[in-house]
Amino acid sequence: KQLIWIIISFGVGFVLLMLEDRFYDMFSYIVYVVMILLLIITVLFASEVKGSRSWLHLGWGVNLQAAEFAKFATALILAKYMSQYSFNINRWKSVLIAIALILLPMVLIIMQKETGSALVYFAFFLMLYREGMPGAILFSGVCAVCYFVIGTRFGDVYMNDGITSVGEFAVLSMTLLSTGVMTWVYLHKRTPFYCIVGVNFVALLITYFISHRFVPIN
C-alpha cells in the first residue's frame, strides 16, 4: 500500500514540475482559499486521532491531512503577493497582510491540536526578514514560539505545590526580560531596561515571599 502511494506521489510531483509558471500565478489565491476551507472543515468535522483533529476521512480508506497541503498553498500565495508591484516590505500594510496570510492557516492548524505542523509556519517569517522585515517582528515571533512551547509544556507543573504554574511564571519572566532587551536595543538607553527588569524582578520576589510565607498568590 505504501509503495502505491509512493508511485502516485512521484506521478503527481512530475505533473507539478511540468506545469508552467503561469498556472501557479493564476491559481495561487484559489488554492489558498480552498486550503483554508479544508482547514476549517477539518476543525469542525475531523475525528480525533491520538489527541489530534487533523485528519479528514474521505472514505475508501483514504485520509487527508489538509495542514500539509496548506504549507504549499501559503508559500504559493506569499510568492504571488510579494511579487506584486504594490508590495513594499517597508510599509506596515504590506507586512501585516503578509503576516496575516501566514497566521490564518497557522491558527486553524493549532485549533486542530497539531502544534508541530503549526510551528513550521514560523519559517516564513525568516523569508520576510530576509526581504527586509524589521528584526523586532522576527524577534517577537521567536519569543512567541518560546512562550507557547514553555507555557504548554510546564502549564500543569506548579511551584512548591502552590497555585502558580511554572509555565506561567516562566513566560512572564521571559516576557519582561525580552521587553527590557528590546527597549535597550532600540532606544540605546540602559535606564528603561533597568527599570523594566529591576522593578518587576523585585515585585516578583516580594510576591513570591508573600505567597510562600503568608497568603498564596498567583
* Cell numbers given for 161: 505545590
pLDDT at 33: 93
Range of the domain at 197: 134-218
The domain total for the chain is: 2
Answer yes or no: is 127 within a domain: no
Q: How far is it, in rounded angstroms, from Cα 50 to Cα 53?
A: 8
Domain shared by 96 and 151, yes or no = no
- pLDDT digit string (tens) for 23-48? 778 888 999 999 999 999 888 887 77
Domain shared by 109 and 3, yes or no = yes
pLDDT at 95: 87
- Residue 63 three-state SS: strand
- pLDDT digit string (tens) for 72-93? 899 999 989 988 888 888 888 8
Answer yes or no: is 102 within a domain: yes
Length of the chain: 218
Write down the pTM of the prediction: 0.71
